[in-house]
Amino acid sequence: MSIALLIVRLILGLGLAAHGTQKLFGWFGGHGLDGTGGFFENLGFRPGKMFALMAGLGETAGGLLTAFGLGGALGPALIVLVMLVAIGAVHITKGFFVTNGGWELNAVYIAGAIAVAFAGSGLYSLDNAFNLQFLTDPMQIWYAFAAAVVVAGINLLARRPAPKTE
């Protein structure tokens, strides 16, 4: 079971971390903070660069914490937060399938994050190596995910249209 958790954590976590570094540094074909910030401005997130920084940090930190099995449900909660914002801001109107820009992949990331959080990080994790118990109790995990949903909702409600130009 611990080998399976390690594989899932590494694929889920490193995939999300790589996605975050696209936003932060332009790595792996990404657009960096300037390009991503402009895209976020078009989505109504103002200032776009600050929201791009927060999204990039959430994806990178959430992914790395999950990959390393550190911090219990903190990494998975960050993944859920950024994926919910992505769904609400970009993908929800495009249907389910990723081939049409839909929310399918985001849902897979969310499902993986929730599964890892409740299954635990396993034997091959930093939490286990250092005997850490942070956010590992089921009630704490539910609170972490509830907080992620609330913060995602606040982010989506904070969007505003571009100022009118004459």
Task: Give residue 166's pLDDT.
Answer: 64
For the cut 70, the answer to whether the pLDDT of residue 112 exceeds it is: yes
pLDDT in tens, 55-97: 999 999 999 999 999 999 999 999 999 999 999 999 999 999 9
Phi and psi at 21, nearest 5°, equal -70, -20
The domain limits of the chain are 2-22+60-157
40 near 51, Cβ under 8 Å? yes
The pLDDT tens digits for 1-26 are 899 999 999 999 999 999 999 999 99
pLDDT band per the 50, 70, 90 thresholds, residue 139: very high
pTM for the full model? 0.94
User: In whole angstroms, how far apart are CA 102 and each of 88, 93, 107, 145?
Assistant: 11, 7, 10, 22
d(Cα 147, Cα 81) in Å, to the nearest integer? 9
pLDDT > 90: percent of the chain = 95
Which amino acid, residue 34?
D
pLDDT value at residue 163: 72
In angstroms, the Cα distances linking 71 to 11, 26, 43, 117, 133 are 17, 27, 31, 10, 8
Mean pLDDT of all residues in 43-50: 95
